[in-house]
Structure 1
Amino acid sequence: MTWLLLGLSCPAWAAFSLRDDRGVTHRFERSPQRIVTLLPSLTETVCALQACARLVGVDRFSNSPPQVVALPKLGGLEDAQVERIAALKPDVVLAAPSARVIDRLDDLGLKVVIVDAKTHADVQRSLGMVATLLGTPAEADRVWASIQRSLADAAARVPASVRGQKVYFEVDPTPYAAGAGSFIGETLQRLHMGNVIAPALGPFPRLNPEFVVKVRPDIIMASQRSLDDMPRRPGWASLPALQQRRSCGFDLKHYEVLIRPGPRMGEAALQLADCLASIEKAQR
């Protein structure tokens, strides 16, 4: 386990230490009251844990829940605005390990807690870490239980006729795909679906476009924009999944839910289940 709470409990006024996902241990004199998040899934996690009011700034892509839209937008993974972050005087900055500004924020003396989530287990662990940071550890159990209920409901919705079929889920038109070992791949597995990307290729591998043509997925899932472009890629127009419309294209609002490893993972599973049910219905 990569996070560690040192102490028996951590009410909002009690000092505690927390080890983050880069192995750095941070000491807090009290639960942070001014929080900056630099990843949408972390913003959503804080809010799901009933601490949205503590957010003082978020990354530019954070747009859920609605109350975060009006918060100061502080850039993204590549270009977070260090001076603006520091000016907000946060008690803690929550960031992904890929954020380029970690060292600069460290140099300014800010507490930067790194949270990394690529799998379902990571999401559960990160919920526990953030809930501990907030001084409300029981909230993590509540949110995780809700995710599990939605995953079970989604699995029950998937028609028997499509179960076991292999899915190609595109996360970027480069193309990058969601492998079997990613949180998206694990959700598909919970829905009784296969994956054209073997675990050995990693959670989110970059593929040679010819790979997809060769593996001929039974079902394709992607953003609507990427799906519309696929027939123009060399060889892709011959894919049966495209020819037979055994595919789902998601608009941006719904696609964002699918690619964020956080508290809306159960909602994502329900969207995928509805996609699979619509494919089965269209094939009747």
Structure 2
Amino acid sequence: MRERSRVAAWFAVLLLALAAAAAHAVEAIDDRGLRVQIPRPPQRIVSLMPSLTETVCALGACGRLVGVDDYSNWPPPVAPLPHVGGLEDARVESIVALRPDLVLVPTSSRVLPRLQTLGLPVLALEPRTLRDVRRVLQVLGPVLEAGDPEAVWQAINREVQVAAQKLPPALRGTRVYVEVGSAPFAASEGSFIGELLVRLGAENIVPATLGPFPKLNPEFVVRADPQVIIVARGDAASLRGRPAWQRIEALRRGRVCALDTDQMNVLMRAGPRLGEAAHLLADCLQGRLGAGSPGR
């Protein structure tokens, strides 16, 4: 009788342990549409995209990061972490050596299939729009069991609204060209940068039909004749050397907003600093930031 009681008690403890484990288990649907089982809140996270790194930190789980991609540099606590490569050249051996219990990876990463083959727990997320930013927060919050995803999103949204309110009505409808790469690649209406411009009341010269970040024929920009150009500071000096670009209104009137590296990082990352990005765009539209040389 005592033996049966001991066995029954052991089973009861086991069932309680299993129930506790199940209570912590989370099922997340990633950007591939795959259902990923996360058995417990991850404590050793590797992030392979700056916006995902910043989102983890915004949710209060920065201390769980054990490795990041080569471009993750904010917030400051991630700087001393091991860096394991970029989108095209992530070092799988270095990732494995960190013994992660979760790897956050963009869907476009070349190492994604290999990480899965090795049996590493992988969640593929790649925010490209404002809606995506909110969705990634909503996915990661329960997975990490950290932070308040909706509070983070509302803080972003409030800052975007504040940025829009400080833009004078006379500047609404300003035609804007945002260059994100010197080929040139641009941010279209369909990108999160384009969506921010819409929220501010500006007009993006690059339509969403070309894709979020299309490579443009430079003549397209000349024909669209933007009133403001936003570009990385290192590329600003070359704009006048492009055929016929001297005719563009933004260059004739010196309305080129040249952003430094840190500012471009804020603008280019679809994550928790998008409110700050909206303020950068508003300041550029008002000529208060990164002014280029006046026209000659």
State TM-score, norm by structure 1: 0.92
Superposed counterparts of 1:211-250, under 5 Å: 211-250=220-259
Match of 1:75 among 73, 85, 89: 85
Cα separation, 2, equivalents of 1:277 and 1:11: 54
Q: Contact between 1:74 and 1:80, CA under 8 Å: does it hold in 2?
A: yes
For 1:88, give the aligned amino acid: L
Cα separation, 2, equivalents of 1:13 and 1:171: 44
Match of 2:140 among 110, 126, 130: 130
Q: State the secondary structure of the residue aligned to 1:103.
A: helix
Change (3 A) 1:251 1:11: farther
In the TM superposition, residue 11 of structure 1 has moved relative to its aligned partner by 9.7
Q: Contact between 1:48 and 1:263, CA under 8 Å: does it hold in 2?
A: yes
Cα separation, 2, equivalents of 1:42 and 1:133: 13
Q: Contact between 2:105 and 2:123, CA under 8 Å: does it hold in 1?
A: yes
In the TM superposition, residue 98 of structure 1 has moved relative to its aligned partner by 1.1
In the TM superposition, residue 237 of structure 1 has moved relative to its aligned partner by 2.0
Cα separation, 2, equivalents of 1:214 and 1:275: 22
Partner residue, 1:141: 150
Partner residue, 1:37: 47
Q: Contact between 2:160 and 2:275, CA under 8 Å: does it hold in 1?
A: yes
Tell which structure's C-alpha radius of gyration is larger. 2
Q: Quick check: 1:52 aligned with 2:40?
A: no
In the TM superposition, residue 89 of structure 1 has moved relative to its aligned partner by 0.8
State TM-score, norm by structure 2: 0.88
Cα separation, 1, equivalents of 2:117 and 2:213: 31
Cα separation, 1, equivalents of 2:158 and 2:45: 29
Cα separation, 2, equivalents of 1:132 and 1:21: 16
Partner residue, 1:179: 188
- Where in structure 1 do 4 or more consecutive aligned residues deviate above 3 Å? 10-13
Q: Quick check: 1:62 aligned with 2:72?
A: yes
Partner residue, 2:35: 25
Q: Contact between 1:11 and 1:31, CA under 8 Å: does it hold in 2?
A: no
Partner residue, 1:6: none
Cα separation, 2, equivalents of 1:223 and 1:94: 28
Cα separation, 1, equivalents of 2:226 and 2:47: 37
Cα separation, 2, equivalents of 1:279 and 1:18: 43
Cα separation, 2, equivalents of 1:279 and 1:59: 33
Q: Contact between 2:130 and 2:192, CA under 8 Å: does it hold in 1?
A: yes
Q: Contact between 2:102 and 2:122, CA under 8 Å: does it hold in 1?
A: yes
In the TM superposition, residue 19 of structure 1 has moved relative to its aligned partner by 1.5
In the TM superposition, residue 274 of structure 1 has moved relative to its aligned partner by 1.5
Q: State the secondary structure of the residue aligned to 1:161.
A: helix
Partner residue, 1:4: none
Give structure 1 stretches of 5+ with no counterpart. Answer: 1-9
Provide the alpha-carbon RMSD of the alignment: 1.9
Partner residue, 1:162: 171
The C-alpha deviation readout for 1:114-133, integer Å capped at 9, x for no partner, is 11211110110011111121
Cα separation, 2, equivalents of 1:128 and 1:146: 14
Q: Quick check: 1:265 aligned with 2:277?
A: no
Cα separation, 2, equivalents of 1:28 and 1:192: 41
Q: Quick check: 1:255 aligned with 2:260?
A: no
In the TM superposition, residue 238 of structure 1 has moved relative to its aligned partner by 2.1
Q: Contact between 1:11 and 1:135, CA under 8 Å: does it hold in 2?
A: no
Cα separation, 2, equivalents of 1:64 and 1:116: 18
Cα separation, 1, equivalents of 2:287 and 2:249: 17
Cα separation, 1, equivalents of 2:26 and 2:204: 42
Cα separation, 2, equivalents of 1:276 and 1:158: 8
For 1:19, give the aligned amino acid: I
How many residue pairs were aligned? 272
Partner residue, 1:153: 162
The C-alpha deviation readout for 1:102-154, integer Å capped at 9, x for no partner, is 01111110011111211110110011111121013x61111101001100110
Q: Contact between 2:69 and 2:83, CA under 8 Å: does it hold in 1?
A: yes
Partner residue, 1:7: none
In the TM superposition, residue 190 of structure 1 has moved relative to its aligned partner by 0.5
Q: Contact between 2:21 and 2:39, CA under 8 Å: does it hold in 1?
A: no
Q: Contact between 1:12 and 1:31, CA under 8 Å: does it hold in 2?
A: no
Partner residue, 2:199: 190
For 2:116, give the aligned amino acid: D
